[in-house]
């Protein structure tokens, strides 16, 4: 087994990938990925701008608003990828049907 490397992350020195992962609150795999992909840890812990910056943005649909697509997906009981696909391809009929079923479940629960 090789000796652990010395890494600098956010101005602090860490010995080994495990120490960096614990400090950053991520897995060792994530730290290794950043080292392999970027050659440094500059991007570790920085929020990505994936989905053209749509991550965490409010979603307005049929006169209602959710804090994010993930929150909408949780409400309608579908996966985030499925809801995102429906939005992307313009399947408002499927979104409306899922929303109506979720509203009915909420009414029964109350």
Evaluate if residue 8 carries a pLDDT over 70: yes
pLDDT digits (tens, 9 = 90+) for 46-104: 655 555 555 567 888 889 998 888 889 999 999 888 998 998 899 999 999 999 999 99
CB contact at 8 A, 7 and 17: yes
Q: What is the distance between the terminal CA atoms of the chain, rounded to a whole angstrom?
A: 59
CB contact at 8 A, 83 and 73: yes
What's the Cα-to-Cα distance from 73 to each of 21, 82, 102, rounded to whole Å? Answer: 30, 8, 10
Closest CA to 46 of 34, 58, 37: 34
Query: In this predicted structure, what is the pLDDT of residue 53?
Result: 54
């Amino acid at each position: 087994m090789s000796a652990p490397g010395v890494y600098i992350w956010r101005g602090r020195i860490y010995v080994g990938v495990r120490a960096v992962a614990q400090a950053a609150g991520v897995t060792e795999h994530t730290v290794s990925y950043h080292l392999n992909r970027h050659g440094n840890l500059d991007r570790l812990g920085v929020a990505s701008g994936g989905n053209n910056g749509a991550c965490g943005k409010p979603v307005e649909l049929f006169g209602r608003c959710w804090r994010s697509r993930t929150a909408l997906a949780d409400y309608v009981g579908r996966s985030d990828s499925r809801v995102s696909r429906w939005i992307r391809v313009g399947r408002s009929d499927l979104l409306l049907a899922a929303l109506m079923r979720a509203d009915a479940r909420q009414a029964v629960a109350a």
